[in-house]
Amino acid sequence: MIHPWTAPILDSVRARLERLPHALLIHGPRGAGKLALAERIAQLLLCEHADAEKRPCGGCGACRWFEAGNHPDLRRLEPEILAKEPPPEVEEEAPREKTRKPSVVIKIEQVRALADFLYVGSHRGRLRVALVHPAEDMNENAANALLKGLEEPPAGAVFLLVSHRPARLLPTIRSRCVALPVPVPAREAALAWLAGQGIKDAGRWLAYAGGAPLRALEYAGDAPALERVIRSPAPVEDRDDLERLAEALQKVALDRAFGAFGLPPKYQTGAPAPKPEQARAWLAYARAMGENRLLARHPLNVALFSTELLISQPKT
């Protein structure tokens, strides 16, 4: 589904369809609708309707295959933890291996398999599309392997890289893609869309999401648990709760820092403003929490790490 605020971006891609570059870097804040846009662009590229203005048509054989999730000329590279279906090799492993946790990174084996797909002929006689999401989740070996394909792209191949944090990509990867920024929509448009989704207190969660509507929708669906983390943060034992805790602590710290500088809070966490002389300490703590949100994915002792996050807060 394309979102209203990204429809003009899709129209701009459609307008230059005949001179589209071989690689697009679709980037912007998490929750701005980048993945849905990338999927729609992929369908646009694969659609077989004779009139380019009507693509994607939704009715041709290619569109039906795409919407069924089995178009032979489309490949998705995602961490196993995000994949809609487990990779075939996981299903075929011995029972002992089936219990392993899904990978949180895109591995080199996935990129190598993509090469096998890109360097053979198209099943439908048209383009072949590789969608990489989130591109910054490639490990170093995978990123270098993908770079080779970007440097010498096979004929008829298009790469769609979706990224929440493009600065984490290799500079050489960024330089071989045409950037397609996806900003968050205007606040009024985002609130109207959230209201259409039946979200209560949409303004509060839109602020917590930094203006990203899809992120706000996700937060609103988990409102009671999030409110507890924001108001009364405590050590956690479940890894799934660790990044949420670090995010809440980061946003509370930023609101405190803004308050110390005499500015209004950005994330509406309800945190009281500290003394002005504490502003820098809260900014430093917010930066540390940004780094810890990334570390939350790593294998570490969840209870000890979450306790460390809490006790390292500046004293008020």
Q: What string of H, E and C letters represents the secondary structure of 154-192?
A: CCCEEEEEEECCHHHCCHHHHHCCEEEECCCCCHHHHHH
Q: Which regions of the chain are under pLDDT 50?
A: 85-97
**What local confidence, expressed as pLDDT, does residue 94 receive?**
43
**What local confidence, expressed as pLDDT, does residue 81 receive?**
83
**What local confidence, expressed as pLDDT, does residue 100 receive?**
65
Residue 224 CA to residue 147 CA, distance in Å, equals: 43
Q: Tokens in use for 111? A: 């990129």
**What local confidence, expressed as pLDDT, does residue 295 receive?**
85
**What local confidence, expressed as pLDDT, does residue 289 receive?**
94
- The topology under which CATH files domain 4-181 is Rossmann fold (3.40.50)
Residue 26 CA to residue 135 CA, distance in Å, equals: 10
**In sequence order, which ranges of 261-301 are alpha helices (DSSP H)?**
279-295
**What local confidence, expressed as pLDDT, does residue 95 receive?**
47
**Per-residue pLDDT tens for 96-119?**
445 567 888 999 999 999 888 888
Q: Tokens in use for 3? A: 């979102």
**What local confidence, expressed as pLDDT, does residue 218 receive?**
96
Q: Tokens in use for 311? A: 């006790």
| Pairing assessment for the beta strands 157-163 and 23-27 based on DSSP bridges | parallel
DSSP 8-state class, residue 17:
G
Q: Tokens in use for 30? A: 């998490």
Q: What share of the chain is helix, strand, coil (3-state, %, to 5)?
A: 55, 10, 40
Q: CATH 3.40.50.300 in the chain: give the residue spans.
A: 4-181
**What local confidence, expressed as pLDDT, does residue 147 receive?**
95
Alpha carbon of 282 to those of 28, 229, 252, 257, 305: distances in Å?
Answer: 26, 18, 9, 5, 19
**What local confidence, expressed as pLDDT, does residue 86 receive?**
46
**What local confidence, expressed as pLDDT, does residue 43 receive?**
96
Handedness of CA 76, 77, 81, 87 (dihedral sign): positive
Phi, psi of 66 (to 5 degrees): -60, -50
| Pairing assessment for the beta strands 157-163 and 74-77 based on DSSP bridges | unpaired
Residue 106 CA to residue 113 CA, distance in Å, equals: 12
